[in-house]
């Protein structure tokens, strides 16, 4: 809980500081609080994928703080980011506990529709560094370089976990042209020739309708590759309907999820989501989230 309290404190302080040019502040991501039957005996949850940046005016230096995952009464599977960043004319370089490049591209729609379920699929959709910090005690230190060249966003990161002798290197990119965005990423463990995972996604955005498809190929001999299809429809000026289906490519039962969102002011919305995991387990969530 202290991680999220700290993140919220940074956000509040940052908004106050943003009125003063001496401490420019930026935030991106989504924070969610709600209830779900996914967590027996611990229905309330707090989830998010957030990154805050507090800059020093007149210098290219900034401080970054963020987190991905969720918290509840009995468990706290999450990764926390904390880094120093230096912005050059053509790129930004960060060092510390940085966000993996793999996690900036081709994101799973389940993270948006059913946040706790999406976080539990991190082994198949997120970086090995993120999954390891959430579920296996990793402390991944590293560096990240990101840039934008015309319509293409690029990022490269490297993480090292000495206790497991793992060195993870990731490369990701996204190309946007008109209504289309194509993104993907590859990550490998340079200390393990077999440790490579990849993902690729394409999304089309119209005035009221958007649709996407993604393929996730995890570095795992026990977990299947996934095909994910998703869509969002703006049914009314403040109402958004979303759906997704994840299809394991080994023939196992699919996971289906849907949600409805009522948009309030300042990016805050009320959501109700439901799904069927692996063809049999029902998941229901209601939550308030803030997109920024």
Among residues 155, 46, 162, which one has the least CA distance to residue 99? Answer: 155
Among residues 94, 185, 55, 81, which one has the least CA distance to residue 134? Answer: 81
Sites in the chain below the pLDDT cut of 50: 1-7, 9-10, 12-14, 16-20
The pLDDT of residue 21: 52
How far apart are alpha carbons 116 and 94 in whole angstroms? 28
Neighbours of 266 (CB within 10 A): 8
The pLDDT of residue 8: 53
Distances in Å between the Cα of 111 and the Cα atoms of 25, 117, 155 are 25, 7, 21
The pLDDT of residue 22: 57
Alpha helices in the chain (DSSP H): 2-17, 110-113, 115-120, 122-125, 128-135
């Amino acid at each position: 809980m202290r991680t999220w309290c700290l993140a919220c404190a940074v956000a509040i302080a940052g908004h106050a500081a943003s009125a003063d040019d001496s401490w420019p502040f930026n935030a991106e991501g989504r924070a969610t609080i709600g209830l779900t039957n996914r967590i027996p005996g611990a229905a309330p949850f707090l989830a998010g994928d957030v990154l805050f940046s507090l800059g020093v005016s007149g210098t290219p230096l900034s401080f970054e703080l963020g987190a991905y995952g969720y918290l509840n009464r009995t468990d706290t599977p999450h990764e926390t980011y904390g880094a120093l960043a230096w912005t050059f004319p053509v790129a930004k370089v960060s060092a510390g506990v940085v966000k993996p490049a793999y996690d900036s591209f081709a994101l799973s729609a389940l993270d948006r529709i059913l946040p706790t379920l999406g976080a539990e699929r991190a082994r198949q959709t997120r970086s090995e560094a993120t999954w390891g910090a959430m579920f296996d005690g990793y402390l991944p230190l590293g560096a990240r370089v990101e840039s934008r060249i015309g319509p293409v966003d690029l990022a490269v990161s490297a993480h090292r976990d000495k206790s497991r002798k793992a060195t993870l290197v990731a490369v990701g990119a996204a190309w946007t042209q008109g209504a289309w965005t194509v993104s993907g990423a590859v990550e490998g463990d340079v200390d393990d020739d077999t440790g490579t995972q990849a993902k690729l996604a394409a999304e089309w955005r119209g005035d009221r309708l958007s649709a996407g498809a993604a393929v996730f190929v995890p570095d795992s001999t026990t977990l299947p590759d996934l095909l994910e299809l998703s869509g969002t429809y703006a049914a009314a000026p403040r109402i958004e309907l979303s759906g997704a289906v994840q299809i394991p490519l080994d023939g196992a039962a699919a996971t289906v999820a849907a949600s409805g969102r009522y948009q309030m002011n300042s990016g805050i919305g009320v959501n109700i989501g439901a799904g069927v995991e692996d063809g049999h387990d029902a998941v229901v969530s209601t939550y308030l989230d803030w997109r920024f």
